[in-house]
Every structure is written in structure tokens, then in C-alpha cells.
Structure 1
């Protein structure tokens, strides 16, 4: 098991955001977390990446506990997050953003090689490599946020709402890229409001409601589940 989350409880003051969430991710999978706004999806990702401390529960990655580990050490272990809302460094160029993604790495020659690979995957970023990130379109910023996360050479990529605010054509493109990244060997945990798209590319999925897992299983089976269709797929 690459990542094992067991009985995770997180509170913001008096508000219980996560109420005993458990989920597992095997190497090579795309696993989706779907659910309405406020279900606890982003909180789950932020807790895995060390940005939020849980009240109780356990998170193990390749058998190692992440619970008391600071975020930069979690990145060093091979977990990288693409945050909701992209959060690129707007006053830095595209190139500088990508270099920031590799800040934990010492292998400078390999970093240059990996930037080339990012440009092959995202040709638009190469065209705009000297442009300030704040001047990019929403779709380009999403590509940059993904490229920046990949620069840390993650084994596990946490994607938080990658399609948010994007035009339908771009959503298709971003999801095609997510599949490519996975096929190239990166395991993905995907949080996504667009349940239809998320289930279409995932191996398995968990359905969250008010901080709890209410359904889980094979992504295609969940896509055909009448409850999921009604609640999340608008069918």
C-alpha cells in the first residue's frame, strides 16, 4: 500500500471537518475523492500533505507515519500537492515557478532535464516561460501548478480541484494530461467537483459527505450507482 489513511479526525475549532475518514491508495492508481462542497475533500488532502494537524488517526506512506512530519519533509518523501485555486507565484516567471518546484532537489543538471520534459508535456508553458505567472490564463496557470508540483519528482501527486473555473474544452485537456502523468508512473489522489470527469479517469473512488466516507469502490461501478448518479452526476 502506497498511502494508508486510517480513522482521520480533523476539527476547525468546534467544527468537525473530518469524522473518521479511512482510504487507501495503491501504487499506480488514480483514486478520486468526490462529494459536495464542505464534504472534507480538500481537508483530507491538506492533512495528508502536513498543512493541517489531525486530532486523531493515522496516515502512513510506504509504511512511514506522516502524522508529525512537517510539509517540506513530506515533499521530500515523494508527495506533492497541486492546491485548489492553483496558487502560482504570480510575480515570478513561469520558469521561476518551475524552479521553485524543485527547491528540495540538489541534482541541478537533472532539474534542467525535467524542465524540458515539463515543456514537452505543456508546450504552452514553454512559449510563455519568461512571462509572469499572474498574466497567464486560468488553464495555463493550472498547467503551471501541475508542472511545478511534478518538478519535485513525486511518487504521489495530490490534485485539488484541477478543473475549477476552467472552460469545458480545457477541462478535457487537463484530464487527458492527468491520465498521461499517471501512465508515466505517478500515482494520483484527485479531489474534484466534476464527479463525472473524475470517475471517468479513476480506478477507484471514495464518496465523502460531511467528513465521512459514505461509499467507496471501483470508479465505474460508482459512476453507475443510482445514488451517485442522482447526487453527483445530475442524472
Structure 2
């Protein structure tokens, strides 16, 4: 479904990604784990067209999306939940969700998608008229995920969904990620909580200083001694 071939990116003179190659099949949850500054977020931004690619190619459903405008990439079926939620704080919950559907002109479909979001995140239905900036961190994360789902993505990119959240909320968010996947959405998950990420993923990649240094099934990575020492605190 998604394929990165030797993707290289730079921030000025600094090489951020040094030839990243990875593959995601339809229906999978794939996770990328690694330390802060390893290139996890940059990988997601490269997929979305938010950073320029110096060399390499990105393919989505067999089509070359390298250097396409972000709006075209979203239109093709990729949506991203950015690190730090990035909800529109002065807009209501409903307005934030409606913005996620800006490419969809079908009101009936938008209403159906809203109902689907409320099934996954019942709290958002209770907060519809509330200004997003007044929500708790967990509620803002749910809103950011709901907003991305309003774009009806085939592939959902999640950047650090557990960041800054209480353990009970994190567990709830990860249950919902699995539910979204079971309903047919493929997921690429970037996450510092490596244990949680590997426990729900099918496959995992380990990234260090802009390079993929390991790839395997999530279960194998979870039991890999190197991964345990470096990322699982064991």
C-alpha cells in the first residue's frame, strides 16, 4: 500500500533521513520506534509532503506521490494526526471535525462520518459546542484523531499519540487505534512508548539517526534483546 524507497531529506545542511526504506501492506498496523531526533516524525512529514525529499521515492497504492502537494496526498487517502494534537483551539469540537472533511462535499457522507467518530469517541459528542482549547489532553488527542478520520483515510499516520497522556488514557487511545484498524484503516504509528506500540502492531521498524537499523514482526522486536535494552527499559 505504501512504499518508501531510499528516502533522503535535509533540514538545511543537516541530513535528517539517510535513505529510509519501508513498506506497509493494506490492513496492517506498522510502527516506527526510535529515540528522540532519530527521524520518526520527519518520515511521516516526508510521506505527507511536509518536508522536501532530496532523493528517493514514495509510492502509495502503486502511484508515485513523491513531491506531490500535501492537499493531493490527503486527497489520495492519507491523513496524519500530528505530534502535540494541533487542534484549532479557538474553534469548537464540531468545527474542528468539519475541517477534517473539507475535501468532501457530500453532507450526508459527512454526517455519517461524524456518527462514526462519535461511536469511537463518545465524549466528543458531549463536547460538540465546546471550544477545543478547553478540552483535556486526552480529549484533544481524540479530537485530533477524529478530525483525521473525517478525511476518510485509507492510511492513517499517527505521530506520538500517547505523548503527555495519563496511562489509563493511553490504554484507551491504543484500544481505539486497534478498533480503527479492525474497521479497515491501515495505520502507520510513530511512538516513543515502544512497548505499547509493538504490542498492537503487526510489524515494526527501528530507526536510529535517520536510518532503519532493524525490521521484523512486532512480536519478534518485542522479544529482541537489543530492542529490550534500548527501548523497553529492560
- Return the TM-score normalized by structure 2: 0.99
Equivalent residue for 1:188? Answer: 187
| Distance across 1 between alignment mates of 2:126 and 2:93 | 10
Structure 1: 5+ residue stretches without partners: none
Equivalent residue for 1:125? Answer: 124
| Distance across 1 between alignment mates of 2:65 and 2:162 | 28
* Count of residues paired in the alignment: 234
| Distance across 1 between alignment mates of 2:29 and 2:113 | 22
SS at match of 2:213: strand
Residue correspondence of structure 1 range 192-231 to structure 2 within 5 A: 192-231=191-230
CA displacement 1:26-85 (0-9 Å, x = unmatched) = 000000000000000000000001111110000000111111210011011000000000
Equivalent residue for 1:82? Answer: 81
Structure 2: 5+ residue stretches without partners: none
Equivalent residue for 1:41? Answer: 40
8 Å Cα contact 2:10/2:52 also seen in 1: no
Q: Runs in 1 of length 4+ with deviation above 4 angstroms?
A: none
| Distance across 1 between alignment mates of 2:41 and 2:120 | 26
CA displacement 1:117-165 (0-9 Å, x = unmatched) = 1111101101100000000000000000000000000000000000000
Bigger mean CA offset, 112-121 vs 185-194:
112-121
Residue correspondence of structure 1 range 70-109 to structure 2 within 5 A: 70-109=69-108
Equivalent residue for 2:176? Answer: 177
| Distance across 1 between alignment mates of 2:113 and 2:28 | 23
Equivalent residue for 1:20? Answer: 19
Measured after TM superposition, the shift of residue 15 of structure 1 is: 1.2
- Return the TM-score normalized by structure 1: 0.99
Measured after TM superposition, the shift of residue 113 of structure 1 is: 1.3
Equivalent residue for 1:54? Answer: 53
Root-mean-square deviation (Å): 0.5
